Structure formats: structure tokens, C-alpha cells
Amino acid sequence: MTRLAGLVKTLNLFVVLCDLLGLVAVIAVVLGGASTPALIVLWVATLVVTVACVRGVVVAVADGQPGRAAIGQLLVSRLELAIAALVLASVEGASAAGIIAIGILGVLALVEQTMAKPVRSAKNAIANVPGWSVVPPAPTWANVLAAVNLATVVVALVCVTFRLPTEVVWVAVAVALVCTIMLGVLILRYLVAFLRSERQLSTIIADLNPAFLFHWQAPAGTAYQAAMWLPYLERIGKPYFVLVRTLANFAEVIKLTNAPVVLRVSLEELDPLIVDSLKVAFYANTAVRNSHMIRFTQLQHIQLNHGDSDKIASVNPTFRQYDKDFVAGQAAIDRFAQHGVHMRADQFVIVGRPQLEDVNVAEAPVSSVARPTVLYAPTWSGFYENSDYSSLPAGPEIVQALLDRGCRVVFRPHPYARRHPGNTAACDAIIDMLTKAGGDHVFGPQAEVQMSITDCFNESDAMISDVSSVVSDYLISDKPFIMAAVSAPVAEFADEFPQAKAAYVVDVKKGQTTGLAEALDAMLGDDPMAELRRSVKAYYLGDVPPGQCVDYFVGEAMKFLV
């Protein structure tokens, strides 16, 4: 079971616990009325469900993804609490107006549930097409409604428990009703636009006259894959649109581009998008839903991938299904053969790495820098054991060694690093070390958000990483680097990961390093690998100078668009 699946299972069990507590609270009130034991049971259940709901809203707001909106969460538990409040109000002889108000709360919760689907799982959408804005409701009002409906139930319970006038509940009902209407208007507006666009979708797409499309589906929080390629697809200079397959992807991509963006969830909904002008479909990963597009044989299907590295994911046999695989250099081609994955020779096209156009090439040896800046850019530990290449467990030791040498440190972990508990702890420890060290070290949001990876490359004089695409990309700078051998013994590391032939290799096992001091001496000193790095650079990146990276890629892409 993956870590993600384990988390989902835990959350599901917690939902069941809340539902059971709510049911126990209803039974306790039915049997015991306003007795002290019944009220204790009721308020324990209320406290647990409230904490769970508040946490759900906070997480949903922080996440910002429509598919994660808090609307409809723990609905059964909240309805059970509303029923308990209704029973208690009847037992305590509350006014008819108060009882009706509490009853309306339950109805509003049910209405909330009917609104959850168009907010959290809208199937189709369109953005950045003049006259055709079909955008699902933003999660803001959905999260507000979920919070307000929970608060109204708590208000009702407070009123009946402490014998306050139940007419007060009408104030809460009014607020909940306003929020319900506001969200309802947004949903209705979306549904009207959706129905209108569905009837004319083929015409809408044909009017764009697209030469190609960019198909992207990935887990929420993986927008870096799309962000890596969108600026360079734009540089091709041909009309195109972005096709995404999940609501979360739609919300992420519309922040990254002004190009038309279309959301289509199911396979059978793709047909209207295949217009006569389309020639090519580009992809940036090996997502399962890519096969939904590959069935259109009239298109050329070109895999771009989202970085070049010696990780096992880079030789996935599913690369065979594309007409062409655009790769950075010969290393990517040889990697398949080395792993016994048979590919057609004519399937590969070397295009370099356009993303490296702004990387500065070293002008002087690192030994000439009085206080070198070292970029520590570790990968993450992956979902599975055979894809765990991360040096982060030894990260604090690595960073301390750099600090002991008086180096300036730039710390930029993989975007997924904090999805793994051990990686999270290491990241926190490193940030704490750099904070206490003071000075001009770069870390946290500055290194991970405000600065691009290119900025981090240019800021540094040398780098420490592991098995990662940043190693391939860093080669273009001609700067020295250390690789951490995590998944293979040092003696076999370069055979399995040829990038290491140009690196100073450090053994990392069980969060401890061997040979780090010697590697730092070589990397920051005479740098004996300098000449070898240049030949390895050509092998991995096609020997394309940074200033020509984009033109080279565009030229190769255009061959399939004429």
C-alpha cells in the first residue's frame, strides 16, 4: 500500500468514527433527554465532529483546489447532530418557531450535499476563450457554506442545551440561507454556460484553428510539469490549446497560461476536440489518461516528459505508445536499451532542454571563489522503495558540512519532498540549521517559490544532489557537483546512473554519509572532473549551448506541424 493510500484509509476510518459518535449522541438524547450523561455524550460527539469539520475547512482553504472543497464533508455526522438538537428541543419544550428553525438547518445541510458535486467534480470547463468562459465555481463560497452550516448546528445545540431562546437559531438560519443562495447562483451560472458551450464545442475549438494541443493530467500539486513546457510551447508560435483531465489540473493550469484551457474528464467527451487543423498532441508525463488521446490516429503523439534523469521512471515501457519521444540527448535513448526496454530507433528525437536557455555557464573555476555558494537540491523519496533516491535523510549532515567549510547554502528540495514524513523532518531540520546559522543563506519560500530552479543554478558555484533531473540540467552550467549514492553501492553507482561519471560520489546509507569530506575537497578544490563533465554534458543535453536551446527545440517541433 502506498503512503497516500494509507492516509486515505485513515481519513475514511475517522469519518466512520464521527458518524458513529453522531449516532450515539442521537440515541443518548432520545433515551436520556436533557440528562447530564446524555448531554456529555452529545457534546463529546459535537466537539469531535466540529474539530474534524474545522480541520477539513482549513485544509480545503489552504489547498485551494475545487476538488478538495470542504462542502459536503462529514454530512452524516452533522445531520445526526442536527437531529439530536431537534429531539432535545422537543423534549425541552422549545417554541414551534425554534423547532422549525432547527429543522431547516437539516434541510440546508441536504441542499449543501446536492451542491457538492458541481463544485467538487465539475466535468467540463473552458477558460481563456473569448466569449466562452465556462469556469466551475471557485471553492471559496463552498468552504464558507460548509463552515456556516456547521456553525448553525453548534448554535442550535448551545441554545437547546443551555435553554436559550431557540428563536436565536433563525439568525444562524438566515446567514446559512444567504450563503446557500450565493453558491447556488454561481453553480447555476456555471451550468447554464456549460450547457450552452456543449452544443457548440466543436465550433468553438475549430474557431481557435489549433495546430496542436498539450494534454496534461497529473495529481494536484504537480503543476511544475505543465509549467516546465507551457512557455516553450508558446514559443512555437502556432495556435494551440491545453487539454486537462481533472478539475484540480484545470484550476492549476489557468494560473500558468493565457492559452485556451479545456477540461474534459471522460474518454467519450474528447471527440469534439479533434478538429481538422490539429496535427500534434504533446504530453509531459505518462499518465494513464494519455491513452484516451492516443486513440486518435490522425494525430502525431509526442512525449516531452518533465525532465531527464536516470531514475527508473525515465524508462517506463509506456513510452513506446507515442509516435515520437522528444529527449534531451543520447543518454535518454541509451537508457532504454541499458534497462532492456526495446524501443524503435526512429521513435526518438533529440531536442535538447529549452528550459536551460537562461542558465549561466561558469566563467571561472570554483576554487577561485572566496566563499562558494553550494546548491543542495535533493529529490524526494517517491511512493515506492525502488524509486527512493533521496539523500534528504542525510541532508542535515550534508548541510552542516557545508556550513563548517564556510559555504553559502541554497536549499531547494523537490516539490514533493514534504509528502514524505522523513523528508519533511529533514527539511525542517535543515531550515532550522540555516536559520540559526544566520547570514545570507537561501531557503524556504525564497528558494522554493520565489526563485526558479534556473535562478538557483545561477546563484550557485557548485551543487549537491542525488538521482534527479536537476543533475542533468546542471551539466549545462559546467559547474561541479556531488551526487549522493542512495540506491546503489558507490562502486556500481555510475554503471546504473551514468550521470555519476561526471560527479563526485558520496555514499549515503541509513541517513549517514561516507566520503563527504573528500568529495567536498575535490569539488571545491582542483575539480579534476571538469573536462569529463563537458563530454557527459553533450551526452545528456545534446551539446546545445544555452542561448540556442529554445530555437533548437522549436525547430524540431515545427517539423511535425507543417
Domain ranges of the chain: 12-122+133-190, 201-355, 366-545
The three cell numbers locating residue 134? 465556462
Measured CA to CA, the distance from residue 140 to residue 263 in angstroms comes to 20
The x, y and z cell numbers of residue 44, run together, are: 463529546
**pLDDT for 339 beyond 50:** yes
Exposed, middle or buried by CB within 10 Å (0-12, 13-18, 19+), for 443? Answer: buried
Do 61 and 132 touch, CB atoms closer than 8 A? Answer: no
Mean pLDDT lowest among 15-19, 256-260, 263-267, 437-441: 15-19
The cell for 127 is 477558460
Q: CA-to-CA distance for 472 and 537, rounded, in angstroms?
A: 8
Mean pLDDT of 188-216: 95
All three cell numbers of 88, joined, read 432535545
As beta bridge partners, residue 85 has none
* More confident site: 7 or 237: 237
pLDDT: is 364 or 138 the higher one?
A: 364
Tell me which of 138 and 114 has the higher pLDDT.
114
The pLDDT of residue 542 is 85
- pLDDT in the model for residue 387: 60
Least confident of 120-129, 199-208, 445-454, 476-485: 120-129
pLDDT for position 269: 93
Query: Which of 416, 423, 531 is closest to 469 using CA atoms?
Result: 416
**Which of the listed ranges 365-379, 407-421, 490-504 does the model predict with the highest average pLDDT?**
365-379
Sign of CA dihedral 336, 337, 343, 349: positive
Given a cut of 90, is residue 322 above it in pLDDT? yes
pLDDT, one tens digit per residue, over 290-317 is 999 999 999 999 999 987 777 777 888 9
pLDDT for 384 equals 59
Question: What share of residues in the chain are helix, strand, coil (percent, to 5)?
Answer: 60, 10, 30
For 330, list phi and psi in degrees, rounded to 5.
-65, -30
Per-residue pLDDT reduced to its tens digit, 514-531: 999 999 999 999 999 999
**Side chain identity at residue 478, one-letter code:** D
Torsion, CA 32, CA 38, CA 41, CA 44, rounded to 10 = 140
Owner of C-alpha cell 455526522: 77
Between 432 and 114, name the one with better pLDDT: 432
Question: Model confidence over 155-188: pLDDT tens digits?
Answer: 888 888 888 887 788 888 899 999 999 999 999 9
Mean pLDDT of 199-216: 96
Cell numbers at 159, concatenated: 441554545
The residue count of the chain comes to: 562
**How would you class 128 by CB atoms within 10 Å of its CB: exposed for 0-12, middle for 13-18, buried for 19 or more?**
middle
Instruction: Count CB atoms within 10 A of the CB of residue 317.
Output: 13
Q: Is 281 helix (H, G, I), strand (E, B) or coil?
A: strand
Which of residues 247 and 322 earns the better pLDDT score?
322
Highest mean pLDDT of the ranges 11-20, 358-367, 413-422: 358-367
Average pLDDT over residues 12-27: 81
CB 71 within 8 A of CB 120: yes
User: Which pLDDT does position 383 carry in this prediction?
Assistant: 64
11 band by pLDDT with thresholds 50, 70 and 90 = low
CB atoms within 10 A of CB 223: 19
Residues 6 or more apart in contact with residue 251 via CB below 8 angstroms = 64, 65, 66
Count Cβ atoms below 10 Å from residue 21 Cβ, excluding itself: 22
CA distance 539 to 534: 9
In which region does residue 375 sit, left (phi positive, over 0), alpha (psi from -120 to 50) or beta (all else)? beta
With cut-offs at 50, 70 and 90, classify the pLDDT of residue 65.
low
Position 6 pLDDT exceeds 60: no
Whether residue 459 has pLDDT greater than 80 = yes
- Weakest mean pLDDT among 281-295, 393-407, 418-432: 418-432
Task: Determine the Cα–Cα distance for residues 459 and 441; give it in Å rounded to an integer.
Answer: 11
CA–CA gap between residue 349 and residue 364 (Å, rounded): 33
Q: Which residues of 392-417 are buried (b: 16+ CB within 10 A; e: fewer)?
A: bbbbbebbbbbbeeebbbbbbbbebb
Give me the CATH topology for the region 201-355: Rossmann fold (3.40.50)
Phi and psi torsions of 513, nearest 5°? -105, 150
Q: What's the CA gap between 243 and 351, in Å, rounded?
A: 23
Q: Which has more confidence, 19 or 519?
A: 519
The winner for highest mean pLDDT among 14-23, 266-275, 381-390, 481-490 is 266-275
* Cα 211–Cα 218–Cα 355 angle in degrees, nearest 5: 60
Which among 53, 21, 79, 39 has a CA at the least distance from the CA of 160? 39
Ranges 48-52, 224-228, 238-242, 489-493, most confident: 238-242
The strands making up 300-303's β-sheet, listed across from edge to edge, are 124-127, 261-264, 240-244, 212-216, 280-283, 300-303, 324-327, 348-350
CATH assignment, 366-545: 3.40.50.2000
Find the angle CA(121)-CA(124)-CA(127) to the nearest 5 degrees: 115
Q: Are strands 512-514 and 504-509 parallel, antiparallel or unpaired?
A: antiparallel
Average pLDDT of the chain to the nearest whole number: 89
Kindly give, in sequence order, each residue whose CB lies less than 8 Å from that of residue 486, ignoring residues fewer than 6 positions away.
388, 389, 390, 391, 466, 467, 508, 509
- Mean pLDDT across 414-436: 90
Per mean pLDDT, which of 6-10, 77-81, 460-464, 470-474 is the most reliable?
Answer: 460-464
Task: With both helix axes pointing from N to C terminus, report the angle between 530-541 and 330-338 in degrees, rounded to the nearest 10.
Answer: 80
- Kindly tell me if the per-residue pLDDT of 59 is higher than 80: no
- For position 62, what pLDDT does the model report? 67
Pairing mode of beta strands 408-411, 504-509:
unpaired
The answer to whether 45 touches 25, Cβ cutoff 8 Å, is: yes
More confident residue, 122 or 205: 205
The Cα-based distances of 433 to 125, 402, 447, 448 in angstroms read 46, 11, 15, 17
